[in-house]
Chains A and B, each alone.
Chain A
Amino acid sequence: MRLVTITLLGGLMLAGGTPVVAGDPAAGRKIANMCRTCHGVDGFAAIPIAPHIGGEPKEYLEAQLMAFKTGARQHEMMSVVAGGLSAQQIADVSAWYANHRVVATLPQGVSAEQAPAACVSCHGADGISVLLDAPNLAGEVNIYIDTQLKAFRSGKRQHDIMSAISADLSNEEIRALAEWYANVGLEILPAE
């Protein structure tokens, strides 16, 4: 029953989320030169501290970049980068990265039913987002997911659903969740 609530909540957030600016992937490709050293030009991250962003929902990418720009979300590097981008540039670069296909593969001998129940209704069993407001988690470095969950738990990062879900998790539980999604294979391909 409660899982239904989450799905509904997610739906509400989509309806009432940030205004979406039309983005131009081609213009975004040029802006992506600022991103590629860490996130790769196709959105497959090149350093552990950066998440894979290729093929994520444009709405999610745009909302996060706007959050970095306004200071609602803070990061040592991303606050510097996003601070210098206009809303149009953010829409364009989000469109570029969103304009990719992702293929996620569960490790051998593992079935989707074993996925962490609290996460699957938004992030999918294989870590491919089923909502526009949730990121893909497939193949992210375990420490990246671990760090984000701890940030939600401590209040450093805030989100209606994530703050509640992470509030009572122990360090060991957080690491186990992170391992599930880190172990999923991820490929990022150009849009068809």
Chain B
Amino acid sequence: MTYKSCIAGLLLGTMLAGPTLAQDNMEKLSNMQKTDATFTFVDQDGDRAAALTNILEHINVPDGFEISLYAVVPDARSMSMAPQGTVLFAGTRKDKVWSIVDRDRNRVADEVKDFAPSVTFDIPNGPCFSPDGFLYIAERNRILVFPAAEFFFESPDIAVGAVVPQGELIPEEEESFNHSARVCDIGPDGKLYVSLGQPHNVQPVDKIALYDEIGIGGIIRMNTDGSEREVYTRGVRNSVGQDFNPATGELWWTDNQVDGMGDDIPPGELNRQTEAGQHFGFPWTNSRVEIVSESDAPRPEGVSFVEPQLELTAHAADLGMRFYHDSSYPEAYHGGIFWAQHGSWNRTEPVGARVMFTAIDPETGDAVGAEVFADGWLDEDTGEYRGRPMDIEFLPDGSMLVSDDFAGAIWRIAYVGMAAQ
């Protein structure tokens, strides 16, 4: 008996005997069978909620707005509100998707529990709904679909299918933990759009062609049954925020830029895509900063790189974004984009951890310019984070939800009107 097989034998024996064997319930669930999974509930009234409430006094919002704690949600990442507005789903970079319910509609969640505990999730960062109520969850290397999740989330056993089976989103040897937080959206064409971050700071030259073909460092789209997959967006480094402009159907997305070139370059990006297949420059350029020289790797033929709409504070980490298409905020915000800056991780002076806004020029359809909408999650005196905004979503009343995976919270920012003069 060889050394290796002996070890494997020991290992397998232990695991089969032990209680920790992670059963993959996918097959049972797709046959509508029951599992023994149970929910994990998150306490909404305890010490954690009190500690989070203490952060609020540090947060600045514009006059007429008010911020409050909406829910205690550990590791809360990308969010998607169900079409009927009854339940919010939030992904994580761990193994949970949370369902968040405000039953009495007092704008504070009263029940937070894990969604589909019978499913073994693997970095389920990105939930997104189709208008007819199918919930898609983009994981590290799989895409799942849960029909009518808004109505069936109350059961730990829930019908599930794989749009992209395990191991077929990207080649397994390209899997990583970093840059693997996927986001998804259903486009106006009914297709599923999924971002695929490339796993390096800058991909090695010998990976460029492979990644370009698969759409790693890009955004792919496919039919909701997984067919007709194609690369929709090329030349991305790691996008973790996207939304379609409801006025035009164009896809906009944020991108995170290269580390290790200094505190002030390259800029973060907000991008506007006007047609399929456009190339946004990476790894040759980040905005106007050259990254990989043409002598190291020739640029792809027949394409010109699309410049970003906005150059943003370097290393601030622009992540989740949403167009504002409700009405309860003042008119200046209508049709514009809100997005979350997660905050830098290795800049000498930390920057970010705030909510940003840009209006859209009605004539040209371009972004007008970035402004800070809400900040204070970064303690400027110590450089420590109180929280790190990650994504933006809206309640049916038009108020904003901000997920925060550092604090483990979802914040709500509502317009309450200006005090009488």
Contact = CB atoms under 8 A, between A and B. Distances in A.
Are A and B physically bound partners? Answer: yes
Given A146-B122, A173-B15, A176-B15, A49 B7 contact: no
Contacts of B19: 110, 114
A147 B21 contact: no
Nearest to A36: B384
B11 A117 contact: yes
Shortest beta-carbon contacts, A-B, top 6: A118-B11, A80-B260, A147-B177, A48-B93, A117-B14, A114-B18
Contacts of B54: none
B102 to A, nearest CB: 26
B305 interface: no
B10 A164 contact: no
Interface stretch (B41-49, B147-155, B168-176, B212-220): B168-176
Contacts of B21: 172, 176
25 contacts: A2-B10, A37-B343, A37-B344, A47-B405, A47-B406, A49-B93, A74-B200, A76-B176, A76-B179, A77-B201, A116-B18, A117-B13, A118-B11, A142-B95, A146-B122, A150-B172, A154-B172, A154-B173, A168-B5, A169-B8, A169-B11, A172-B21, A172-B22, A175-B22, A177-B15
B217 to A, nearest CB: 12
Contacts of B173: 154, 156
Interface residues of B, number: 51
B327 interface: no
Interface in B1-58: 3-8, 10-15, 17-22, 24
Given A143-B123, A146-B122, A83 B177 contact: no
B406 A46 contact: yes
Interface string A33-53: 110111000000011110000
A158 to B, nearest CB: 14
Interface string A141-178: 11110110010001010000000110111011101110
B259 interface: yes
A81 B201 CA distance: 12
Nearest to B238: A76
B262 to A, nearest CB: 11
Interface string A46-88: 1111000000000000000000000000111101110110000
Contact of A143 (B12, B122, B179): B122
A164 B3 contact: yes
B26 to A, nearest CB: 11
A165 B4 CA distance: 7
A165 B20 CA distance: 19
A108 interface: no
A177 B21 CA distance: 8
A117 B7 CA distance: 8
A96 interface: no
Contacts of A172: 21-22, 24
Interface string B309-333: 0000000000000000000000000
Listed residue (B15, B75, B179) with the most chain A CB atoms within 10 angstroms of its CB:
B15
B199 interface: yes
Contacts of A146: 122
Interface of A: 2-3, 5, 33-34, 36-38, 46-49, 74-77, 79-81, 83-84, 110, 114-118, 141-144, 146-147, 150, 154, 156, 164-165, 167-169, 171-173, 175-177, 179-180, 183
A80 B263 CA distance: 13
Classify the secondary structure of B's interface with A: loop
A59 B242 CA distance: 43
B373 interface: no
Contacts of B345: 37-38, 77
Interface in B254-293: 259-260
Contacts of B304: none
Given A36-B384, A76-B176, 11 more contacts: A76-B178, A76-B179, A80-B346, A114-B20, A142-B94, A150-B175, A165-B4, A172-B22, A173-B12, A175-B122, A183-B20
B92 interface: yes
A38 B383 CA distance: 13
A117 B20 contact: no
A104 B166 CA distance: 33
A179 B177 contact: no
Nearest to B167: A171
B227 interface: no
B336 interface: no
Contacts of A115: 14
B376 interface: no
Nearest to A84: B260
Contacts of A5: 3
Nearest to B384: A36
B95 to A, nearest CB: 6
Listed residue (A38, A116, A176, A177) with the most chain B CB atoms within 10 angstroms of its CB:
A176
A96 B190 CA distance: 53
Contacts of A48: 75, 92-94, 177
B385 interface: yes
A98 to B, nearest CB: 22
A48 B21 CA distance: 22
Listed residue (B11, B93, B122, B172) with the most chain A CB atoms within 10 angstroms of its CB:
B11
